[in-house]
């Protein structure tokens, strides 16, 4: 008998059997009502792998009695779609077909636009799936003709029934009873990271290595932990997860929540992405702590250097120190706001000539030297003297506004006292 993956063998055939996705497939879920209504629009399913997107497409095909053609955008071309079109109207597909296009984000703009002519005449109903945000990766013309449904990651509680079905299926397949220690099912369900396919792969691995006894195959919790280790990580250095974790790390530090910041740092480090973690922590030190605690930048730089020197797993220690320091430090984005305002003026053409007394006097041609009029601040009390520094067109422009933290307010008082006296 040909081998059939367990994930495919236990694939649900009804909406009631689909795990999770109650927000769209529950009793009053919109997608459920659309499917039960029988008139299927063009659909885009967006969400992590292993959450039921292909399963629901199969159920739709059975409900509507229309042939389902599957293509993967990583290998398919428009000619493949044209081949499908050639069969429409024949006895094989008198009422059109459903086209399930997986990973639509890998179709370029021209390929996605070519889909439109097939979508317009109604002979092809497109069900596209993507693990990336469709509003970033699917072109507007396709989006405007489709309804987007988000498939959310499954919880461990959602996955447990699928794990039990998988064990029952393996038992029937081999004619041996499935015997598992307490905690095996819940551990696999939790460790798969909301991906039923990962859970089924772990089960097949466990089953093939399970100890055979007179009563059946025995699966231990220790073996389950080995088979499912690290599989809970959802992380793609080129995908949305990469940027979402980095964003969550920085926002947690900015929000002064060290526990959340450590969680997202841990996810990066477990995935082995030391480079991205170091870069984002360094940026956060400058952007979100900055002038409120200027020493943090040099301290974090030392932590980052230490992490890169020792590598993982030891790198986790200096990076944890850096994250906790930043999360518990006072915050200021005054520096970032100031440079952004200055760059906005420059980009808008608000510049003007340098004041004469700021120009490089050595640039004057020999014999054409001019009086510069520059006042050297170190020759004056408190090393400050009033003179114009901004171009004439920008005199009076203020970019930097002191933050409310202790460090910047101390600097503000210092300079106000000196400048007011003059």
Residues 255 and 196 in one domain: no
Residue 11 forms part of a structural domain: no
Residue 204 forms part of a structural domain: yes
Residues 107 and 164 in one domain: no
Residue 250 forms part of a structural domain: yes
Q: Which residue has the tokens 């967006």?
A: 46
Mean pLDDT of the chain: 86
* Beta carbons within 8 Å of 142's beta carbon, 6+ residues apart: 44, 104, 112, 113, 115, 116, 119, 126, 128
* Parent domain of 324: 240-328
Confidence class for position 420, pLDDT limits 50, 70, 90? confident
Residues 146 and 180 in one domain: no
Residues 204 and 256 in one domain: no
Summarize pLDDT for 337-377 with one digit per residue, the tens: 999 999 999 999 888 888 888 877 655 555 555 567 888 89
CA atoms within 13 A on the CB side of 231: 25
Summarize pLDDT for 379-405 with one digit per residue, the tens: 999 999 999 999 988 999 999 999 999
Residue 244 forms part of a structural domain: yes
Residues 222 and 267 in one domain: no
Summarize pLDDT for 282-305 with one digit per residue, the tens: 999 999 999 999 999 999 999 999
Q: Residue 94 pLDDT > 80, yes or no?
A: no
pLDDT of residue 402: 93
pLDDT of residue 137: 85
Confidence class for position 77, pLDDT limits 50, 70, 90? confident
Summarize pLDDT for 307-335 with one digit per residue, the tens: 989 888 899 999 999 999 999 999 999 99
Residues 323 and 275 in one domain: yes
CB 285 within 8 A of CB 296: yes
Coil, strand or helix at 193: coil
**Nearest Cα to 352, choosing from 387, 385, 377, 389?**
389
Q: Residue 237 pLDDT > 60, yes or no?
A: no
C-alpha 39/C-alpha 122 separation (Å) is 11
Summarize pLDDT for 128-155 with one digit per residue, the tens: 999 888 888 888 888 988 999 999 888 8
Residue 336 forms part of a structural domain: no
Coil, strand or helix at 219: strand
**Percent of the chain at pLDDT above 70?**
91
- DSSP structure class, residue 10: T
Residues 384 and 270 in one domain: no
Q: Residue 96 pLDDT > 90, yes or no?
A: no
Element (H, E) at 180: strand 178-180
Residues 121 and 187 in one domain: no
Average pLDDT, stretch 110-121? 80
* Beta carbons within 8 Å of 128's beta carbon, 6+ residues apart: 42, 43, 44, 45, 100, 101, 102, 104, 138, 142, 146
- Helices 196-209 and 156-174 pack at an angle, to 10 degrees, of 40
Residues 201 and 249 in one domain: no
Q: Which residue has the tokens 């009631």?
A: 16
Summarize pLDDT for 49-60 with one digit per residue, the tens: 888 898 999 899
pLDDT of residue 48: 83
CA distances from 180 to 164, 210, 215, 230, 343 (A): 11, 10, 12, 21, 64
pLDDT of residue 368: 56
CB 121 within 8 A of CB 150: no
Higher per-residue confidence, 235 vs 44:
44
pLDDT of residue 65: 79
78: domain CATH number is 3.40.50.300
Residue 339 forms part of a structural domain: no
Confidence class for position 239, pLDDT limits 50, 70, 90? low
pLDDT of residue 397: 92
Summarize pLDDT for 193-234 with one digit per residue, the tens: 778 888 888 888 888 888 888 888 999 888 888 877 655 555
188: domain CATH number is 1.10.8.60
pLDDT of residue 250: 95
Residues 192 and 279 in one domain: no
C-alpha 365/C-alpha 392 separation (Å) is 24
Residues 321 and 254 in one domain: yes
Average pLDDT, stretch 257-284? 91
pLDDT of residue 208: 86
Residues 133 and 172 in one domain: no
Summarize pLDDT for 152-199 with one digit per residue, the tens: 888 888 889 999 999 999 999 888 998 888 989 988 888 887 788 888
* Beta carbons within 8 Å of 213's beta carbon, 6+ residues apart: 179
The domain tally of the chain equals: 4
Residue 220 forms part of a structural domain: yes
């Amino acid at each position: 008998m040909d081998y059939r993956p367990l994930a495919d063998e236990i694939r649900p055939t009804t909406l009631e059997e689909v795990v999770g996705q109650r927000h769209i497939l529950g009793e009053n879920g919109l997608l459920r009502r659309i499917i039960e209504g029988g008139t299927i629009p063009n659909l885009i399913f967006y969400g992590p792998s292993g959450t039921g997107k292909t399963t629901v497409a199969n159920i739709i095909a059975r409900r509507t009695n229309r042939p389902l053609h599957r293509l993967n955008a990583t290998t398919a071309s428009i000619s493949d779609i044209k081949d499908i079109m050639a069969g429409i109207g024949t006895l094989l597909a008198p009422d059109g077909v459903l086209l399930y296009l997986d990973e639509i984000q890998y179709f370029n703009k021209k390929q996605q636009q070519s889909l439109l002519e097939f979508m317009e005449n109604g002979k092809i109903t497109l069900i596209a799936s993507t693990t990336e945000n469709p509003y970033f990766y699917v072109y507007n013309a396709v989006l405007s003709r489709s309804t987007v449904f988000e498939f959310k990651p499954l919880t461990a509680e959602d996955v447990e029934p699928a794990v039990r079905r998988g064990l029952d299926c393996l038992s029937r397949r081999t004619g041996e009873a499935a015997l598992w220690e307490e905690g095996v099912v819940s551990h696999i369900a939790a460790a798969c990271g909301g991906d039923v396919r990962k859970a089924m792969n772990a089960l097949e691995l466990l089953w093939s290595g399970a100890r055979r006894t007179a009563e059946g195959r025995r699966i231990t919790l220790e073996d389950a932990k080995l088979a499912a280790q690290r599989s809970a990580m959802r992380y793609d250095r080129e995908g949305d997860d990469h940027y979402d974790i980095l964003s969550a790390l920085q926002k947690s530090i900015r929000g002064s929540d060290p526990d959340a910041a450590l969680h997202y740092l841990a996810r990066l480090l477990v995935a082995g992405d030391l480079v991205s973690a170091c870069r984002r922590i360094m940026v956060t030190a400058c952007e979100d702590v900055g002038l409120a605690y200027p020493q943090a930048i040099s301290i974090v730089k030392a932590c980052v250097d230490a992490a890169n020197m020792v590598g993982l797993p030891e790198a986790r220690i200096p990076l944890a120190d850096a994250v906790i320091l930043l999360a518990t430090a006072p915050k200021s984005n005054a520096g970032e706001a100031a440079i952004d305002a200055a760059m906005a003026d420059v980009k808008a053409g608000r510049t003007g000539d340098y004041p004469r007394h700021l120009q490089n006097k050595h640039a004057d041609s020999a014999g054409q030297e001019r009086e510069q009029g520059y006042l050297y601040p170190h020759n004056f009390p408190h090393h400050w003297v009033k003179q114009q520094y901004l171009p004439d067109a920008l005199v009076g422009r203020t970019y930097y506004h002191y933050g409310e933290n202790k460090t910047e307010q101390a600097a503000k008082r210092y300079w106000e006292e000196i400048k007011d006296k003059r």
